[in-house]
Chains A and B, each alone.
Chain A
Amino acid sequence: MATATVVAAGTEARTAKGPGIRPSGWIGFLFIAPNLLGVAAFTLIPLISVVVLAFTDWNLVSGLGGITFNGIDNFVAIARDPGFWHAVGLTLVYVAVSVPLTVVLGLALAIALNRPLPGRAVLRAIFFLPYIVNVVAIGMTWLMLMNPKAGLVNQVLDAFGVQPGWFASSHWALPALIVMAVWGGVGYCSLIYLSALQDAPRQLYEAADIDGASAWAKFRVITWPALLPTTVFLLVTMIIGASQGFGLIALITAGGPGDATTTISYYMYQTGFQFYRFGYASAIGLVTFVGVLVLTLVTWRAQRGRALND
C-alpha cells in the first residue's frame, strides 16, 4: 500500500512539471556535454562503425567511397576460416586457464593477507604493484626472465631438469603468457577480495565458532557464499579482459612462434592493421563481442541464487 502511494505521488509530481526540462535542467546537459562528446567520438561512433563495416569489404585506404557492402559474406568466411577457429581455441584456453587460476590465487592471497600480519599494508602494496606497472616494463622483464638460455626462470628450473623454450617455443609461448597474466592479475583480485572479506558477516563466524565448525566448514558455508558476488564480478571482468588480451602478445610474441599465440584479438589486429581487411576484421570483432557476451551471461546465470544474501 505504501509503495502504491509513493508511485502515485511520483506520477503526480512529474505531471505537474510536465514532460519538459526546466531551463536550469539543460544547463546540466551542458555540464556533461564534454563527456558525451568523448563517449560519442571514442565509443559510440566506433561501435556503430564496426557494426556497419562488418557487412562490407573495405581496405580503409580507398576511403569511404571504397566501401563495398557484401551482405553476410564476412560471416560466412569466418565460419570457414581455420585461422579464426584456431584463434578462438587459443583464446578459450588462455581464458579458461588464466582467469580461474588468477581468481583462486587472488582469493588465497586475500585470505592470507586478511589476518593480522606484520607489514601487512606493505605486502598488499607489493602484490598489487604488477597491476599498475606499465605493460611494456612487464613484458621486457619477463622476456629477460624467461630467456631459454640465460633467463633466471630456466636457471632455477634447470635444477629439476626442465628447460622450457618459453617465447621461443610454439608449445610454451601460450603457457608463458598465462604465467604473466596470472602474475599481473593476482594482486588486483586479492585487493578486491580483501575488501569483500571485510564485509563478511562477523556474527555468522561467531555463531559457527560457538557451534565448533571447522575452518573449512566456515569457508564453505559462510566465506564462499559471502564472496560469491565478488567472485562473479571478478570472473566477468577478467573473462572480458582476457579475451581482449593484446598488449603483451603484440609486444612479446607478435602472435608467434608460428601462430601459437595468435589469440582472437591479435588475429583481428593482423586482419585489420596488417592485411587492411577492415570489413572482415570488424566482422570478427562483432562475432567476438557476441561470444564474450554469451560467456559472461553464462557465468552470471551460473551464480544466481547461490550468494549469501540471495
Chain B
Amino acid sequence: MRRKSFSRREVLAGVGAGLAAAVVPACSGADSGRSGALQVWGGVPAASGPADVVKAFQAKFPQYKVNYTRFVNDDRGNLKLDTALQGGVDIDVYFTYSQAAMALRAGSGLAADLTDRVRADPDLQVFLDTEQPRSYIDNGKVKALATAREPFFVLFNEKLRQQAGVELPQSWTIEEFRATARKLTTDKTVGTYTLPDVARIALGPNYWYDGNRSNFGDPHFEQGFRLGREMIAEGTAFPWTEVLSRHLDAYQQNSFLGAEFHLWSTAPFNLRYLYDAKKYPHDFKVAFAPPPTVDGQNWNGGSYSNFIMVNPKSPKFEAAWAFVKFWLTEGATPMLKGGKMPALGNVTDEQIVSGMLGKEPDKYFDLDSFRRVVLASDPKLATDTRLTGFPEISLAMKQQRDLCWLGEKDPGVAIREVRRLADAAIARNERRP
C-alpha cells in the first residue's frame, strides 16, 4: 500500500541529507577539482612579469601547462590563500611575501621539504647559506626559496638637488642624512618623506629579539623614534598628520612625483612609478644614494623576499619543482619590470637596467649612481629568521611610532610600551604548542 504522508522527522532528515549532499562536495573538492595544469598562486599581477615567466616556462617545457592566479597580498588575500591551501584547493606552487605568514605556513605543514632538491643542485647551493639566508629553513629543512632581492636605497629628485646645490652622497651617516634633508627643505618641498630604519641599519637581522625577550631596550630604537619626531617637528620630514590623514604609506610615490618631498628611502619595486611619465607624470630625473650608516654599521633595510613554496599535497611535484627551478635560475628576467631583482643574481647589468628602468633609462634616471648603488655594491641584506609574535610586534611598533611622530607621546615612553607589548607577545607565542 502506498504511503500517503511522511513524518516530520523523515522530511527533516530528507532536507538535511539534501543540504549535506549539496554542502559536502562544495567544501571538499580536494582531488576531484584538480586540473592537469600546474596551478601557481602569486601576489604580483600577471601583467607585471609572471605571465611572461609562465610563457617562457611553457615554451621550454611544452609538456607542462601553467595557470597563474593572482591573490592580493594583504590580510584578506593571504587569508584566502591560507584557506585555499587548507581546504585542498588545487594549488601546486605559491608565493609568500611576509615572514610571519611564511613561519605559519612552513610550520603548519603547508610547505613541501625542498632540502634534497636544493642540495642536489649545484646552482642552488647558495640557498643553504644561513649567514645571509635566501631561504626559509624550518627545523633544518628548506621550506621556501627567495626569488627576489630587494635592497633599500635613497632616491634624490635631481632637479631639486641641483637647485639646492647639494652633493649626491656616495656614503653618509644618519646625521648627514638629517643635515641633507634640512638643506633640501624649502617652503614648497619637505626634505624627506621619512628616515630609514635606524635600528635595522645598526642591528641587522632579527633585531627585535634578544634571547627569549624583545630587544627594544637597545637605544637605537629610541634613537629612531626620537630622530623622526625631531625631523618632523623641524619640518625636514613629512608631517605625520598628513601621512595618516592622506594614507600616504600606500601612496607615497604620488607625493614624490609631485615633488612634495625630496629624499625617498625605498626599494626597487617603487621604480616602476618613475619610468612611465605618461602614467605617472613628472619632469625630473632620479639619482641613487646608499642608505646612511648608523654608528659605523651598514645593514641594509631590504631583504631577500618573494618566497616560492611548493604545496606538499601537490600531486605534480616534479612539474612544480621544474617551475620553481626555472623561476629561480633562468626565468626571473621578466620580473625585473616590477622591480624584482633575482635572488640568485643571474641576470646581466644591462638586463637589470633595461628591465627595471624602462625603455628610456637615461631620461628618468642618473645611471652612474644606479650602477654604483644598485649594481656594483653588495649590500648586507637583513632577512629575519626569528618570527615569534611577529605580527603583534609589527602592530605595536606601528601604533607607538604613529603616536610618537604625531607628537602625542614621548619617544622613550613609546618605545617602552613597544617593549612591554613585544615581551608579552613573545611570551604568549612561545607558550603555544
Complex Cα gap A308–B130 (Å): 77
Contact at A57–B432, with CB atoms within 8 Å? yes
Please, what's the 1-or-0 string for B77-92, where 1 marks a CB less than 8 Å from any CB in chain A?
0010011011000000
Is B5 touching A20 in the complex (CB atoms < 8 A)?
yes
Interface code B283-316, partner A: CB below 8 Å = 1, 0 otherwise?
0000000000000000000000000000000000
- Chain B contacts to A: CB under 8 angstroms: 4-8, 10-11, 14-15, 18-19, 22-23, 75-76, 79, 82-83, 85-86, 104-105, 107-110, 239-247, 391-392, 395, 398-400, 402-403, 406, 408-409, 432-433
Binds B, one of A7-15, A89-97, A106-114, A251-259: A251-259
Q: How far is the CA of A167 from the CA of B6 in the complex (A)?
A: 61
- The CA-CA distance from A22 to B7 in the complex, in Å, is 8
Name the B residues within 8 Å of A167 (CB-CB): 244-245
Which of A62-70, A118-126, A128-136, A222-230 has 4 or more CB atoms under 8 Å from chain B? A62-70
Other-chain residue from A19, A37, A171 in contact with B8 (beta carbon distance below 8 A): A19
Choice from B76, B110, B400 contacting A273 with Cβ under 8 Å: B76
Nearest opposing residue in chain A for B88, CB measure = A63
CA distance A244 to B400 in the complex (A): 26
Stretch at the interface among A23-31, A190-198, A232-240: A23-31
Query: Top 10 closest A-B pairs, CB basis?
Result: A20-B5, A168-B241, A62-B108, A168-B244, A61-B108, A168-B245, A258-B403, A257-B402, A61-B104, A26-B11
A23-B5, A168-B240, A168-B245 known; 12 new pairs, CB 8 Å cut-off, are A20-B7, A36-B19, A37-B22, A40-B19, A41-B23, A60-B82, A148-B242, A167-B245, A170-B403, A273-B79, A274-B391, A276-B391
> B7 to chain A: which residues have CB within 8 Å?
19-21
Q: Which of B107, B108, B406 contacts A257 (CB 8 A)?
A: B406
Residues in B whose Cβ lies below 8 Å from that of A26? 6, 11, 14
- Closest A residue to B244 by CB, please name it: A168
CA A27 – CA B367 in complex, angstroms? 76
In the complex, which residue of chain B has the Cβ closest to the Cβ of A257?
A: B402
Whether B5 lies near A63 (C-beta < 8 A) is no
Interface SS majority for chain B: helix
Q: Does A270 contact B (CB under 8 A)?
A: yes
Q: Which residues of A contact B85 (CB under 8 A)?
A: 61
| Distance between Cα atoms of A22 and B5 in the complex (Å) | 5
**Residues of the A chain whose Cβ atoms lie less than 8 Å from the Cβ of B86:** 60-61, 63
CB atoms of A257 and B104 under 8 A apart? no
- How close is A33's CB to chain B, nearest CB, in angstroms? 6
Residue ID in chain A nearest B400 by CB atoms: A258
What 0/1 readout, one digit per residue, does chain A (139-174) give for beta carbons within 8 Å of chain B?
A: 000010011110100000000000001111111000
**Contact bitstring A24-57, B, C-beta under 8 A = 1, else 0:** 0110011001001100110000000000000001
B-chain residues with CB within 8 Å of residue A18 when the two chains form the complex: 5
Q: Which residues of B contact A147 (CB under 8 A)?
A: 245-246
Does residue A299 face the partner (Cβ distance < 8 Å to B)?
no
Contact B15 A33 (CB under 8 A): yes
